[in-house]
Amino acid sequence: MPVTAFDPSTASARDMEQWRDVLNAMVDADMPGEPRWHGDRMREYLSVTLPGERRLAFAARDADGTITGHANLLLFGGEFDDTAIFEIFVRPSERGRGIGLELLETVVRRAADEGRETVGVEVIATTPAVGFYDRLGFKRAVVENRNLLAMSEVDWPRVRDISGRLAAGYRLEYFTGGLPEGLLPRYASTKAHLKVDGDGDSTAWRGSADAVRLRESLSTLANRGMRTHLVVALSEPGEAVVGLTELVVAAQRPTRGDQYDTVVAPTHRGYGLGLAMKARLLCELADAEPRLLDVQTWTAQEGDPHEHADVELGFRNDVAWYEYEADVAELLRRLA
């Protein structure tokens, strides 16, 4: 079954529909409670990247030219230019025919050609993909808990009360779609705290920690069809950004909100800012995203600083997620 390069910017409407159908077939088979994918702005979702990054796509087809599986490979730039992450999706009715292996070999060989040393992939713990990557020698670099909150189950009077519980000298501001230019440097400097953990060690966080990159990141999300919702905690006087939380709603899955980064500057922790910011964000979403059915967030299995806030707001632990990694050279030897 041939695997060929796939260009979403020029692909036919039929091919784009088949690409989406493979995604939805996997959702229905492996995670039937998950929202299905829409065709809205799927081309942009697959083709738009940050400056310095590239996303390559590949499709497997049967004898009639129907897409039976597909993959995409995101090549990072800058300080992470030795790594890449990928996704592989195979139509459930076509499993067991080696399509996943062909797609994997294609993306790994391309990663090697691009000089990448490591590849990674995210896997939902309850899906068949776990056995696939375990057998191939991938290592679980990160294990997180996915937590869900149904908008219909939110205790809105309580959440609104929590959003207003701020210690003296702090206030919250809400933005959607971007940030005022003058706020970008202060916002980016607060995000930089995500580069180190509570013990002062470097983390694997790949976010934007400078104003230019942050501006590019927000623009890229918008160009991919993803609406950003941001709540910022400001310290008065001085208007320093001391906390922030981010959420994105994609046109391709408009009923699901994805929580991104949440961080409070170390010297301002212990005042309930994380909980208040997340509560305020939920209140804004209720008005700004009428199609939203639920919100998902991720917490570390142990010692996550925001786990208490999620529990207070009504999030429920749903399923574990694995971030797998593999050395490219070793993986190619195993595949051979």
The predicted-structure confidence for 249-267, as pLDDT tens digits, reads as follows 999 999 999 999 999 999 9
Give, to the nearest 10 degrees, the angle between helix 328-335 and helix 99-113: 140
Residue 21 is which amino acid?
A: D
pLDDT at residue number 196 = 66
How many angstroms separate the CA atoms of 195 and 184, rounded? 17
Distances in Å between the Cα of 154 and the Cα atoms of 61, 151, 221, 323, 327 are 44, 5, 27, 30, 43
CATH of 3-146+323-335, one of 3.40.50.300, 3.40.50.1980, 3.40.630.30, 3.40.50.2000: 3.40.630.30
How far the first Cα of the chain sits from its last, in Å, is 18
Model confidence pLDDT, tens digit, residues 268-313? 999 999 999 999 999 999 999 999 999 999 998 777 888 899 999 9
Return the CATH number of the domain spanning residue range 155-313. Answer: 3.40.630.30
pLDDT at residue number 303 = 75
Please determine, for residue 96, whether its predicted confidence score (pLDDT) is greater than 60.
yes
pLDDT at residue number 227 = 97
In this prediction, residue 217 has a pLDDT band, given cuts at 50, 70 and 90, of: very high
Please determine, for residue 88, whether its predicted confidence score (pLDDT) is greater than 60.
yes
**pTM reported for the whole predicted model:** 0.93
Mean of pLDDT over the chain: 94
In this prediction, residue 206 has a pLDDT band, given cuts at 50, 70 and 90, of: low
Domain boundaries, the chain: 3-146+323-335, 155-313
pLDDT at residue number 228 = 98
In this prediction, residue 210 has a pLDDT band, given cuts at 50, 70 and 90, of: confident
Please determine, for residue 161, whether its predicted confidence score (pLDDT) is greater than 70.
yes
**Fold identical between 3-146+323-335 and 155-313?**
yes
Residues ≥6 apart with Cβ < 8 Å to 287: none
Question: Quick one: residue 131, left, alpha or beta (phi over 0 = left, psi -120 to 50 = alpha)?
Answer: alpha
pLDDT at residue number 195 = 67
Which H or E run includes 58? strand 54-61
pLDDT at residue number 281 = 98
